[in-house]
């Protein structure tokens, strides 16, 4: 079935405690909610610095009031008291001034967690925030995206996922969206890793200088894209190639 085209939504006003009134919870079209989850283990100053840049790129996500609601939850742990205080300070900046359609949550853990334990804690917190702040209505499209604690997000990363969700002609049969447009370093030398870009604009400059490469330009990814396009509506029935350079944070 064809999905309904999104209709313009009126800007909603929040009450004094930041929650939406029952009247405001009645959207005029299918609402898309994105739950963004991150696991962070901070054991060095360099990792803390990269985390700050990653959090800043998430705060800079460009979403209009009619595109989606975005809830981001970060579960983190640091074994060193001084580093832990630095993470708390970074999270205080991250969770401030979220605005009406966004929520950002920081969860400090008191002991070391595996990555999946962190993601589980983050998911529970994001789901609780969704229920308490917006409620959950039949017809909502709720999707999950992932982020690594040292990766930068393109300003339109979430918006592009949302547009793909709204535009897909067979959305009821889709469980996962994936992108292979991630930019990675062309070198594994340690000195290169210490001087990675700190903003999305710097990523673009590094791509122009060919210091980074986009994974979707590799031969395997390009061949897979051509295969999908040739398959047309039958593309969803094709088995996914096992040699594609996909990580869990490429999925939605």
Domain residue extents for the chain? 29-167, 182-214, 217-245
**Nearest-angstrom CA–CA distance, 210 and 184:** 10
Strand pairing class (212-214; 183-185): antiparallel
User: What does pTM read for this prediction?
Assistant: 0.80
Q: Are 38 and 146 in contact (CB under 8 A)?
A: yes
Strands of 158-238, DSSP E: 183-185, 212-214
What is the predicted pLDDT for the residue at 35? 95
Block means of pLDDT (10 residues each) for the chain, 252 residues, are: 32 32 44 93 96 95 83 97 97 90 94 96 95 70 92 93 82 77 75 74 88 89 91 83 87 85
**In Å, how far are 3, 88, 104, 124, 151 from 30, measured between CA atoms?**
9, 36, 23, 23, 30
At residue 165, the pLDDT reads 86
Determine the pLDDT at residue 137. Answer: 62
What confidence score (pLDDT) does residue 251 get? 87
d(CA 77, CA 94) in angstroms, rounded, equals 16
Angle at 51 between CA 34 and CA 165, to 5 degrees: 20
Using CA atoms of 11, 74, 46, 89 in order, give the dihedral in degrees to the nearest 10: 70
CA distances from residue 218 to 14, 85, 183, 185, 222 in whole angstroms, order as listed: 46, 41, 11, 13, 6
């Amino acid at each position: 079935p064809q999905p309904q085209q999104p209709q313009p939504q009126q800007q909603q006003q929040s009450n004094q405690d930041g929650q939406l009134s029952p009247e405001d919870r009645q959207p005029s079209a299918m609402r898309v909610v994105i739950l963004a989850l991150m696991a962070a283990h901070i054991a060095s100053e360099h990792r803390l610095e990269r985390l700050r840049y990653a959090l800043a790129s998430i705060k800079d996500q460009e979403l209009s009031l009619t595109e989606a609601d975005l809830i981001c939850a970060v579960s983190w742990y640091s074994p060193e008291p001084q580093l832990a205080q630095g993470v708390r300070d970074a999270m205080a900046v991250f969770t401030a001034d979220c605005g009406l359609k966004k929520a950002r949550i920081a969860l400090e853990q008191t002991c070391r967690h595996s990555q999946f334990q962190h993601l589980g804690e983050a998911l529970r917190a994001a789901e609780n925030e969704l229920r308490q702040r917006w409620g959950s209505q039949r017809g909502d499209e709720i999707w999950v995206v992932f982020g690594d604690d040292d990766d930068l997000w393109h300003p339109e990363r979430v918006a592009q996922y949302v547009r793909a969700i709204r535009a897909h002609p067979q959305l009821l049969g889709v469980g996962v969206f994936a992108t292979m447009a991630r930019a990675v370093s062309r070198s594994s030398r340690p000195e290169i890793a210490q001087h990675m870009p700190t903003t999305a604009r710097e990523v673009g400059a590094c791509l122009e200088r060919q210091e980074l490469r986009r994974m979707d330009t590799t031969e395997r990814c390009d061949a897979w894209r051509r295969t999908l396009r040739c398959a047309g509506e039958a593309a969803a029935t094709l088995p996914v190639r096992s040699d594609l350079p996909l990580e869990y944070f490429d999925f939605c």
